[in-house]
Structure 1
Amino acid sequence: MPFTTNIPPKFNGFSMKILGKRNSHFSRRCHPPPFDQAAVSDREEMDAGIGILEFFAGKNIFVTGATGLLGKVIVEKILRSTSVGKIYLLIKAKDKEDAFNRLNCEIINSELFTCLKEKHGKSFEAFVKAKVIAVMGDIGHPNLGMDFESIESIRKDVNVIIHSAASTTFYERYDLLFDTNVNAPQRVMRFAKTCDKLDLFTHISTAYVTEREEGVILEKPLNMGGGLDVADEISLLLKSSPNNIDATNFFIKFGQQRAKLMGWSTTYQLCKAMGEMCLNEMRGDVPLLIIRPACIESCYREPLPGWIQGLRTLGPVIISYGKGILPAYYANPQVPLDVVPADMVANTTIAAIAKQGNRHVAQPIVYHTASSLENPITWFDIFEHLYDYFKETPLIENANISKVKFFNNFEEFSKCLREEIMRHSGGGDDRKIIRRCNAKAEYAEQLCKMYEFPGFLKQRFHTGNTQKLIQEMSKEEKLTFEMDVKNIDWKMYFHEIYFPGVTKYAIN
């Protein structure tokens, strides 16, 4: 049955000027939205804070996953805001020349690095050459696929490892997800344990590794147990052999079955959880920092408001709604979608590295980057923003933009969805129209099934460690490394930054 809620339409009737209008923050290149905290902008008598700049001065960093969204934002921010030593970037490539080309094409020449280019001007190329080193390698191979020279250089130099590489496809083949998100972190940790001057191993995980729990989830490391044993999963994978030619379909279904049996919604979550557990178990005396972001979306303030790479959790939903093929949605409208801008996740990671890198604590430290407790935005709120935005700024002409109807029963959702899509098409018995409407409905159904777990999630992520980190930062650090989700103006973010950003960077 559809949800019947008393949630008021509190976002109706916006008269904001959006994409292409004069007051859009999105159109300001390299100029973030104005920071409205007077206390932070007051720079008199600065306290020492965490010492982020001091920690990174001259430090050498080894990064995996630098071609991905978060890895790229982290690298750009470190280069732009600190006096880091060298940054070694592990890049999957067929040879050194290919690795160098990928570094230039996918990272350095990315629009994300526009501000850094403007900062250094003519000396930009020399700056990058002195700071950034492309390392040919592959997290799927022993010693990460690096040559002897690279291994020896990094072992002697590196102070911090940031392992950001991962497969983020929810329903990928189990064997592939297992190798990328379970085995690969162990390969990186084994390499870390051979490094001479390592201060910290930073692992980028996801908040959704804790799905088996309900309520408020604390920032605690995961341990083996609860019916889950990684060795057993490895044994099952080794013994599994599809009885037909379609191995891909076999391993996709196998992964879904294992995830649901163990208490997770997707194979991705299961494998990320096992990856965390393995790192915790094998790390020895290596200090381990775990960053658990929720749904990472467009940059909020810097370096380019609205910048995003690829379609994240909300992206396909936004596009489908803007095209008029999502008049109904399968979710609880009162559940928050835990959105966090990419630049805030990057800043949290950098600040946490600076704090934990000097401590050598015995236990792994976990930091959630999430908004569901501090500044929640519900599915109802999001679709109200979508309605107002696309009514004023249509994605396509004649799209069926109406207020979405929420359902907690998939069959009823499907029935309503198909009726609305057919009604808007004009109905009739034309076979082409019927086929087109069915195709749209099937896509929308698959989309809602894929994102079913965040639509009904019975979790909120506690950010005590992150909030304590913010409190310990100096005023200057809070300004330079903004990470407090309480400061997010959701109305402005969605209308002036995120929705235009998806249109520009993801759709186009």
Structure 2
Amino acid sequence: MGEILLGQYKGELPIVIIRPTMVTSTFQDPFPGWIEGTRTIDALIVAYDEQALPCFLGDRNDIIDLIPADMVINAALVAMAVHWNGKLQVIYHVSSPCQNPLSVNDFVDSCFDYFSISPRILNGRVLQTRRPYLFKRYAFFRVCLMIIFSLPLMILEGFNLLLCGCFSRYCNDLNRRYNFFTLLVKLYAPYPFSKGRFDDSNLTWLRMETKICNVDGGNLNFDPKQISWHSYLISVHVPAVLKYAHMKKGTTLRRTSYSYSQ
């Protein structure tokens, strides 16, 4: 609706509309991994880190549409430089699937690799990392949810009632994990099976126009083809998300770090 209003009232002004997809931490500028706030896919990374994501909805062959924040900003800056004296309304989808797709399977594998080489430490004990199981059908997912959370919680609450609250702490902890998990499902359930792709042909044209017209975009990188998703996720984005999440909670992030070679 905002874009429609801009088109109606822009007059002679040029309009450039930037539509980013799921924005992640920076790829290069001002430094790799700059982030303010955990959003979109980051909540799943935090849940994975806390081993609160035993299963989820999705198809491993589906594509996740991520784009680093600095590429969004760079695309906007270059677009302004190219269109500042025009009269058209131009729309740019700043996304990655058409140029450099990231599958759900690659995302899960990258997270698993990170947590395997840098596992959490709790009370001096290294916590084991488990892969979440992905369900393609919602009915099967609901059954798994009942077995993992609902039934144990009902049994524990029954024992807690009989034993005068001896298991209250465990009940509260399991209930908290269950509520957090159901919140994630409500937020993300509509998206795992989406087959839509944003057409980034305008952005491809912008990169070519930058080279042809010699617009100073040499240091303003917004080409998703340059991203090695596995390396970016385990070396940049996942540690940045966890660092910010633990800083927000006021906790210290303790990990056992091992050397990694791609």
> What TM-score do you get using the length of structure 1 for normalisation?
0.43
Task: For residue 446 of structure 1, report the CA deviation from its aligned partner.
Answer: 1.3
Q: Which of 134, 137, 144 is matched with 1:416 structurally? A: 144
2:234 corresponds to 1:502: no
Which has the larger displacement, 487-496 or 468-477? 468-477
> Residue in 2 aligned with 1:268?
none
Task: For residue 399 of structure 1, report the CA deviation from its aligned partner.
Answer: 4.6
Task: For residue 296 of structure 1, report the CA deviation from its aligned partner.
Answer: 0.6
2:227 corresponds to 1:453: no
2:226 corresponds to 1:473: no
3-state SS, counterpart of residue 92 of structure 2: strand
> Residue in 1 aligned with 2:259?
none
CA shift digits 1:368-427 (9 cap, x unpaired): 1001111111222111111111122124536562111112334532432454469999x9
Q: Is the 8 A contact 1:306 1:498 kept in 2?
A: yes
Distance 2:129 2:207 in 1: 40
Task: For residue 493 of structure 1, report the CA deviation from its aligned partner.
Answer: 0.4
Q: Is the 8 A contact 2:38 2:244 kept in 1?
A: no
Which amino acid in 1 is paired with 2:200?
T
Q: Is the 8 A contact 2:64 2:104 kept in 1?
A: yes
Which amino acid in 1 is paired with 2:173?
R
Q: Structure 1 residues 308 and 395 mapped into 2: Cα distance closer, same or farther (>3 Å)?
A: farther
Q: Is the 8 A contact 1:326 1:417 kept in 2?
A: no
Distance 2:182 2:38 in 1: 18
Distance 1:374 1:394 in 2: 32
Q: Structure 1 residues 393 and 283 mapped into 2: Cα distance closer, same or farther (>3 Å)?
A: same
Bigger radius of gyration, 1 or 2?
1
Q: Is the 8 A contact 2:20 2:67 kept in 1?
A: yes
Task: For residue 439 of structure 1, report the CA deviation from its aligned partner.
Answer: 2.3
2:101 corresponds to 1:376: yes
> Residue in 2 aligned with 1:82?
none
CA shift digits 1:120-154 (9 cap, x unpaired): xxxxxxxxxxxxxxxxxxxxxxxxxxxxxxxxxxx
Q: Is the 8 A contact 2:46 2:245 kept in 1?
A: no
> Residue in 2 aligned with 1:99?
none
Distance 1:341 1:312 in 2: 12
> Residue in 2 aligned with 1:249?
none
Which amino acid in 2 is paired with 1:439?
R
Would you say how many aligned residue pairs link Structure 1 and Structure 2? Answer: 232
Distance 2:109 2:54 in 1: 12
Task: For residue 477 of structure 1, report the CA deviation from its aligned partner.
Answer: 4.1
Q: Is the 8 A contact 2:60 2:134 kept in 1?
A: yes
3-state SS, counterpart of residue 455 of structure 1: coil
Distance 1:424 1:507 in 2: 29
3-state SS, counterpart of residue 285 of structure 1: coil
Q: Structure 1 residues 424 and 484 mapped into 2: Cα distance closer, same or farther (>3 Å)?
A: farther
> CA RMSD for the aligned pairs?
2.6
Query: Larger relative CO (CA 8 A, sep 6+): 1 or 2?
Result: 2
> Residue in 2 aligned with 1:391?
116
Within a 5 Å distance, the mapping from 1:168-317 to structure 2 comes to 274-317=1-44
> Residue in 2 aligned with 1:403?
131
Distance 1:421 1:393 in 2: 27
3-state SS, counterpart of residue 491 of structure 1: helix
> Residue in 2 aligned with 1:176?
none
Distance 1:476 1:283 in 2: 25
Q: Is the 8 A contact 1:407 1:413 kept in 2?
A: yes
> Residue in 2 aligned with 1:144?
none
Q: Is the 8 A contact 1:298 1:342 kept in 2?
A: yes
Unpaired runs of at least 5, structure 2: 160-166, 248-262
Identity %: 30
Within a 5 Å distance, the mapping from 1:353-368 to structure 2 comes to 353-361=80-88, 364-368=89-93
> Residue in 2 aligned with 1:489?
228
Distance 1:311 1:289 in 2: 27
> Residue in 1 aligned with 2:50?
323
Q: Is the 8 A contact 2:107 2:230 kept in 1?
A: no
Distance 1:341 1:454 in 2: 19
Which amino acid in 2 is paired with 1:394?
P
Q: Is the 8 A contact 1:308 1:502 kept in 2?
A: yes
Which amino acid in 2 is paired with 1:482?
N
> What TM-score do you get using the length of structure 2 for normalisation?
0.79
Q: Is the 8 A contact 1:366 1:465 kept in 2?
A: yes
3-state SS, counterpart of residue 354 of structure 1: helix
Which amino acid in 1 is paired with 2:191?
P
Task: For residue 304 of structure 1, report the CA deviation from its aligned partner.
Answer: 1.4
Q: Structure 1 residues 462 and 396 mapped into 2: Cα distance closer, same or farther (>3 Å)?
A: farther
Distance 1:418 1:395 in 2: 27
Q: Is the 8 A contact 1:327 1:417 kept in 2?
A: no
3-state SS, counterpart of residue 460 of structure 1: coil
Distance 2:233 2:56 in 1: 19
Distance 1:477 1:414 in 2: 53
Q: Structure 1 residues 310 and 320 mapped into 2: Cα distance closer, same or farther (>3 Å)?
A: same
Task: For residue 453 of structure 1, report the CA deviation from its aligned partner.
Answer: 3.0
Q: Is the 8 A contact 1:293 1:345 kept in 2?
A: yes
